[in-house]
Chain A
Amino acid sequence: MSKCYHCGDDCNITAIVFDDKNFCCNGCKTVYEIFQSNDLTYYYDLQSGAGTTPLAIEGKYDFLTSNTIAERLIEFDDGTVQIVNLFIPDIHCSSCIWVLENLKKLHPGITNSQVDFPKKTVRVTFKGELVSLKELVILLARIGYEPYISLEDYDKGKSKIDRSLLYKLGIAGFAFGNIMFLSFPEYFEVGGFWLDQYKGLFRWLMFAFSLPVVFYAGSDYLISAYKGLRSGLLNIDVPIALGILVLFTRSSFEIFFDLGSGFFDSLTGLIFFLLVGRFFQQKTYSFLSFERDYKSYFPIAVTRLGKKKKEETVQIYAIKSGDRLLIRNEELIPVDGILLTEKAHIDYSFVTGESEPVEKISGDKVFAGGRQCNGAIEIETLKSVSQSYLTQLWSNSVFQKDKSTAFQTLTDSIGKRFTIAVLTIAIIAASFWMFQDSSKVLNVFTAVLIIACPCAIALAAPFTLGNMLRIYGRKKFYLKDSSVIEQLALIDTAIFDKTGTITTTQSSSISYEGMELSVEEESLLKNTLRASNHPLSRSLYALLKEHNIETLDDYKEYTGKGVQGVKDKSDVKVGSADFVGHQQLSDYNSTSVHVSTNDSYKGCFVFHNNYREGVSEVFKEMGRHMDLAVISGDNTGEKTRLEKLLPKLTPLYFNQKPTDKLEFISELQANDKKVLMVGDGLNDAGALAQSNVGLAISENINVFSPACDGILDATKFKYLNNYILASKKAMKIIKLCFVLSLMYNVVGLYFAVTGQLEPVIAAILMPLSSISIVAFATLATNVIGKKLK
C-alpha cells in the first residue's frame, strides 16, 4: 500500500494521485498544492511524510474578528505591525520548523516568523492591514498547523520569563573564576617582595568580587534560611546560609585587619556549585504543561444564536443561562445545557477518558466538556461556565494548594540534625580551645562552621533527582519537578481510574452473543453498515470479515435507533434492542448493538473496553508492595471482566463522581497513606491534585492532559512499577551520597577542630567533595537508567 506523500499515512484504495504523488485525502493534496505553488517543496525533502492532515475549520475562528478577543491574544501592536505567539501542538520535526519560518512566502502580510521548538510555539510578525489574525490562523490551519487557542490564552496576562537563575549563575561563575585567579599566588606562601607588595590589592579585589555573589547570587539561600527559621524549620538552607555568612564575615574581617587572605575562593565556589546544582535540577518539559485546568480545554468564544437566528460570536464568560448556542462539528460544549437539535453524538473523552461517543436526543442534558462529533447542534444553556458540573470541581480548595511546599524533602529533614550536630561540634571545640589557647577560639569556631557547610549534601539531591528526571523523560515518563521522585518513592497506595487509564482509547474489542450469522447474512450486515456513519457502525464494520461490495436494494437510517438494509428480499436490522424488536435485559450495562434478520432476532455485538497491555502484570507487581484500588465513574458493566483481570480482592469502586474520587483520596490520606493516583481525564483532576503523586496517562503526549505531577506515555504503562522501584533506588543513592559527604566533613572537621584550617585546604576540600558527589550521583543514576525500559 502506498504512503501519503504529505502525511505519511497509508493511502486506502481511495488514494488521490496528483503530480505523480499519492495522497490519502484531499486535505493533504491541498497542502501539497499550496507548498508547491509557493516554492516550499523543500519541506518534503527535509523529512518525508512529515505533514499533518488539515481538519475542517469552517467558522471555527470567527471569534478572532472580535477586537476585544484579538487584543488579548496579540502580544505587540503598534498599529501597523502586530506580533502574536501561537501554540501549535503539531510541531514535531525539522520540516515543521522550516515551513513555519518561511510563512512569509505564503502571504505578503507576514514579515517574519520564528519557531520555538521545545515550546512548540511560533511567533509571527505580521502587518494588520494585509492579513488579520483570523486569516493568519486559518492560513496555518490550512497547511496542517492549526494553532491551539484556548480560554487559557485569553485569561493569562503577558508572561515574563524568569531568567534570574542564569544571571546568578553567570555572576557566581565569573566571580569564582576571577577570585581563584587572584588568590592563587597566596596558596603557596612563597613570600617574595612582589607578592607582599600587591597582596593588599589582590585581597581587596577579591572582596569586591565576592560582594555580588553573596548578596545577589546567594540571596536565595539566605532568604530561604530566614523564612525557614521564622516558621521554626531547620531546612538544609540554614547550615548553608550559616556557612556563607560565616565565610563572608570571617574573610572580610581577615582582610580589614590584614590577618590573612580569607576564604573568598571557597565562598564563591560554594555558591557557584550550589547554583549549578539548582540549574541542573531545573529540567522542564516546556512543551508539556502540568498546570492545566478546564481553561486550556475550553474555547475562547462560541456562537450564540440571537433573535431571528442571527449568529453572533460571544466570549465564553458572557454566556448566561437561557442562551441558545450553536456548537459546530468538533467543537467543545462550554456549558451545561439542553439539547435542542434532534440528536447529537458527544465525545466525553476529555472528561472521562471514554472515547466512544454518547448519543443524545433532543431534550437530553449535555454537560460541559463534551465534544460534538456529528454535525452542528444547538443547545440551550442551563448554567454559566463557572457553575457547570465539570468546572465546579475547580472551586475546590485543593486546586489552590501548592503540593511541593508542604512536602519536606529528605535533604531538608537531614538539615535539621546536621545543623544541630555542627553547632554542637563547634561549641565543644571552641570551649576546648578556651582552656588551651583562648586566641584560637574564634578561629576554630568559625572554621568548623565553614568546613561543615553542607555543600556536598545540598548537591546530592539536585544531581541525583535531576538526572533521574532526564532518564525518565527519555523513557517518556515526564515529571513536573524533581521532588515528585521523592514523593513517588514513598507511595504505599495506588488508585487507578478505569476508563482511559487502564483501558485503551485506541480500540475496543467486540464480542458476538447469540445465533450464528450465515455468510449471506454477514455480507448483508457488512454492506448495510458501510453506509452508516454512526461510530458504533464504523467500529463494527472494521471488525467484520471482508465481503464483496454489493449494492443494497433499500437502505434506511433511523435516527437514534439503527439502520436497515434490504437485498434480494432478505433484510437486516442493526441497532438498539427496541429497534430490532428484542426485550433487553435490564441488568445489561455494556454498550451493545443488536441484529435481526427478516424480523427474527439473531443476537448482539457487545463492545468491551480493551485493557492496556500488561495491566494484570502491573497490578500483580505493584500489589506486592502497596495497596491498590480501581475507582471509576462508569457503571458496573465491566466488573466481572475486571475481577478476572486484576489480582483477587482488589477493591473496585464504580459510579464515582469527580468529587467522590477526590474525597476518596483525602480519606486515605487522613489514614496516613501516601497515595498515587493514576488517571487521565478531567474528571480525575480533583483526585490528581489531592493525591501525593498524580500521574496522567496519555495516549498522545501533545494532547492535553489534566493538571498533574507527571505524565506517562500510555505505551509505557506496563513499566509503571519499574519506574516506582527506580525512584526508590534513586533515594538510596542520595543516602549514599550523604554518607560520602559526611566522610569528607569528618576529614575537614579534623583540620578545623585542631585549628589548622588554611584557606588552601578549604579551597581543595570544598570542590573535591562536591565534584566527587556529583560524579557518583550521576554515574549511579545512569546505571539505574540503563536497566530501566
Chain B
Amino acid sequence: MSVIYLLLTISIVVALVFFAAFIISVRSGQYDDSYTPSVRMLFEDEVVKNTTIEPNTKIKKSTQLNKKQKL
C-alpha cells in the first residue's frame, strides 16, 4: 500500500504548485489593482488601420452596450 506515499507526494506537490503561483502573482503586483483589468478586458480589440473606412463608424454598433456603463 505504499502507493499512499506517492499519492500524498503528488497531492502536496500540486498544492505547492498552486501556492507558488499565488505567491508569484502577488509579488508581481497582480493584486495591487483589482479593478482596472476588469475594465480593460472589455475594450474592443484594435481595428487594424484601414485607410478608406472610418474606423469609428464601424465600431459604434458593437460598443452600444459599454456606452452607458458609468463607472
Contacts and interface: CB of A to CB of B under 8 A. Distances in A.
A93 B71 contact: yes
Interface residues of B, number: 35
A177 interface: yes
Contacts of A198: 4
A167 B26 contact: yes
A48 B15 contact: no
B56 A170 contact: no
A318 interface: no
Contacts, number: 82
A174 B15 contact: yes
Contacts of A163: 26-27, 31-32
Nearest to A174: B19
State the majority secondary structure of interface residues on A.
Answer: helix
Interface string A169-200: 01100100110010000000000001001100
Nearest to B60: A45
A320 interface: no
Interface in B8-52: 8, 11-12, 15, 18-19, 22-23, 26-27, 29, 31-33, 35-36, 39-40, 42-44, 49
Interface in A436-495: none
Contacts of A101: 40
B28 to A, nearest CB: 10
A42 interface: yes
A447 B21 CA distance: 37
Given A46-B63, A117-B39, A174-B19, A166 B31 contact: yes
A559 interface: no
Nearest to A202: B8
Contact of A94 (B23, B49, B66): B66
Given A117-B35, A118-B35, A167-B26, A92 B43 contact: no
Given A41-B56, A101-B40, A197-B1, A170 B22 contact: yes
A116 B33 CA distance: 6
Interface string A672-706: 00000000000000000000000000000000000
A161 interface: yes
Contacts of B18: 174
A192 to B, nearest CB: 11
Nearest to B12: A178
A789 to B, nearest CB: 20
A97 B40 contact: yes
Nearest to B36: A117
Contacts of B63: 42, 45-46
Instruction: Using C-beta atoms within 8 Å of the partner chain, give the interface range for chain A.
Output: 20 to 34
Nearest to A43: B56
A170 B26 contact: yes
Interface in B50-69: 55-56, 59-60, 63, 66-67, 69
Contacts of B8: 201, 205
A291 interface: no
B35 to A, nearest CB: 5
A167 B12 contact: no
A529 interface: no
A177 B31 contact: no
Contacts of B60: 45
A209 to B, nearest CB: 9
Contact of B33 (A41, A42, A118): A118
A44 B54 CA distance: 14
B56 to A, nearest CB: 4
A744 interface: no
A119 B35 CA distance: 10
Contacts of A42: 44, 55-56, 59, 63
Nearest to B31: A166
A98 interface: yes
A98 B4 CA distance: 53
B59 A45 contact: yes
A45 B67 CA distance: 6
B70 A47 contact: yes
A177 B39 CA distance: 32
A39 B58 CA distance: 13
Nearest to B22: A170
B1 to A, nearest CB: 6
A599 B44 CA distance: 68
B15 A47 contact: no
Given A42-B44, A163-B26, A178-B15, A92 B71 contact: yes
B23 A167 contact: yes
B26 A117 contact: no
Interface in A92-121: 92-94, 97-98, 101, 115-119
A115 B71 contact: no
A47 B66 CA distance: 8
A594 B56 CA distance: 55
A115 B15 contact: no
A94 B39 contact: yes
A177 B14 CA distance: 13
A198 B27 CA distance: 37
Given A47-B69, A93-B70, A163-B26, A98 B59 contact: no
Contacts of A117: 33, 35-36, 39, 71
Given A170-B19, A194-B4, 14 more contacts: A44-B56, A45-B59, A46-B66, A46-B67, A93-B71, A94-B43, A115-B36, A117-B39, A163-B31, A166-B26, A167-B26, A170-B23, A174-B18, A205-B8
Interface of B: 1, 4-5, 8, 11-12, 15, 18-19, 22-23, 26-27, 29, 31-33, 35-36, 39-40, 42-44, 49, 55-56, 59-60, 63, 66-67, 69-71
Shortest 10 CB-CB distances between A and B: which pairs?
Answer: A117-B36, A41-B56, A116-B33, A174-B19, A93-B71, A45-B63, A166-B26, A170-B22, A94-B39, A117-B35
15 contacts: A39-B49, A41-B56, A46-B43, A47-B69, A47-B70, A94-B66, A97-B36, A117-B71, A167-B26, A174-B19, A177-B15, A178-B15, A181-B11, A201-B8, A205-B12
